[in-house]
Chains A and B, each alone.
Chain A
């Protein structure tokens, strides 16, 4: 009985990693939801189509002038309709030791995400692929965020994303455009808690991505992520990055980027390399 159920499924996907076209799963950015480097897109992780499900795991490292951020994430694409994701972020703020008078250790955050594809198809439909998502965020180390004025250690982000691939849309190369609108009150993604003395409400933030697929395996792109500025203690800047993504096959993707993260916890000009590797099944 079990075999009769399983065998057709195995036979249908001998290579694993699902049936969608290469690179249409995007990458796994900092918060675990599939997208570009900094911005969640309407695409769902991996390559599943209706009738298929597949997990993706990723590790991402960002190294700015004074900080390091490591993100470990896992996601599951169900039928190319629902994406469930979980990410753990570890943020090394040792550079703040002189300012704080003692080693603050690491900040950290866990993010649980769900994204639902509402309509459309990245490649084939006339209109963009549309998705709605939610992220439940939990700041693990709240002592420092509380000390600098953060109100809560847990909160929700909500977002709507529209993503479209224009075949041959950029000098004959395929062009991907994404726009995401997010409601959030997170400070530095949530690593520094939620809300603050300057603002304690969800605000709408625009997040944009543009990428060109040079061929089947390489994409280059840029992203912009608007961010709240809730804490009087330290100004928070919008984020930018420029990335190169490599999709050697459906099982692996590598993203190398340059991230401009602005001022973080009073230290300005936090720019540096971003590396992400992911595996899909």
Chain B
């Protein structure tokens, strides 16, 4: 009796989920689903615009070479989505070493990326596929031993105050 009960609930949930998801309109690669070269360029553009406006993380990008960052992000998004590109930048671990990127900053970055994809009407399933491929970078970007207090690079926090 009970087994049927939970089976019914699971079935209902599956139907509820699959019923409102368009299936079978994928391109050959995630890259194509993202709109190819042009789509990825628009996404990186929208993403960087949001990062620049984000008080939580803009500081971490202060002094960054934005045209270079844009090019590397386009390469990276293209490569992880199986597009015809090669990422020419350093590894995530190398490029973020010593920056003290916190969990909070990493999440802010992810939120900006999701917001950018939402703004460009990227389908949820495509969003999730891209996020799934970027998620493993978390452990290479977020510092293992993080101070829980504001770091020394935080402006306006005079030492000894």
B110 & A21 in contact (Cβ 8 Å cutoff)? yes
Question: Which residue of chain B has its CB nearest to the CB of A216?
Answer: B114
Q: Hey, what's the 0/1 contact readout for A148-189 against B, CB within 8 Å counting as 1? A: 000000000000000000011011111000000000000000
Q: Is A52 an interface residue (CB 8 A)?
A: yes
Which chain B residues border A221 with CB–CB below 8 Å? 13
Q: Is B119 an interface residue (CB 8 A)?
A: no
Among A12, A125, A212, A241, the residue within 8 A (CB) of B56 is: A12
Q: Is A199 an interface residue (CB 8 A)?
A: no
Q: Is A214 an interface residue (CB 8 A)?
A: yes
**By the criterion of a CB under 8 Å from any partner CB, how many residues of chain A are at the interface?**
48
- Also in contact, A171 and B9, with CB within 8 A (given A4-B158, A19-B56, A80-B103): no
How many A-B contacts at CB < 8 Å in the complex? Answer: 117
B103 & A50 in contact (Cβ 8 Å cutoff)? yes
B102 & A173 in contact (Cβ 8 Å cutoff)? no
Q: Is A67 an interface residue (CB 8 A)?
A: no
Q: Is A222 an interface residue (CB 8 A)?
A: yes
B17-25, B43-51, B65-73, B79-87 - interface stretch: B17-25
A214 & B17 in contact (Cβ 8 Å cutoff)? yes
Question: In the complex the two chains form, what is the Cα distance from A260 to B131 in whole Å?
Answer: 36
Q: Is A210 an interface residue (CB 8 A)?
A: yes
Near A by CB (< 8 A), chain B positions 130-157 give: 131-132, 135-136, 138-139, 146, 148-150, 154, 156-157
Question: In the complex the two chains form, what is the Cα distance from A8 to B123 in whole Å?
Answer: 37
Q: Is B38 an interface residue (CB 8 A)?
A: no
Which chain A residues border B5 with CB–CB below 8 Å? 240, 260
- Also in contact, A214 and B20, with CB within 8 A (given A168-B128, A172-B125): yes
- Also in contact, A224 and B156, with CB within 8 A (given A172-B128, A173-B17, A173-B128): no
Which chain A residues border B96 with CB–CB below 8 Å? none
Question: In the complex the two chains form, what is the Cα distance from A215 to B21 in whole Å?
Answer: 11
B104 & A51 in contact (Cβ 8 Å cutoff)? yes
User: Which among B55, B102, B108 has the greatest number of chain A C-beta atoms within 10 A?
Assistant: B102
- Also in contact, A167 and B132, with CB within 8 A (given A19-B56, A172-B21): yes
Which chain B residues border A238 with CB–CB below 8 Å? 2
Question: In the complex the two chains form, what is the Cα distance from A145 to B102 in whole Å?
Answer: 50
State how many angstroms separate the Cβ of B1 from the closest Cβ of chain A.
10
Q: Is B120 an interface residue (CB 8 A)?
A: no
- Also in contact, A237 and B2, with CB within 8 A (given A4-B161, A8-B154, A21-B111): yes
User: Which among A22, A171, A210, A212 has the greatest number of chain B C-beta atoms within 10 A?
Assistant: A171
Which chain A residues border B28 with CB–CB below 8 Å? none
Q: Could you list 9 examples of A-B contacts with CB < 8 Å?
A: A8-B156, A12-B150, A171-B17, A171-B23, A212-B13, A214-B17, A240-B9, A242-B13, A262-B2
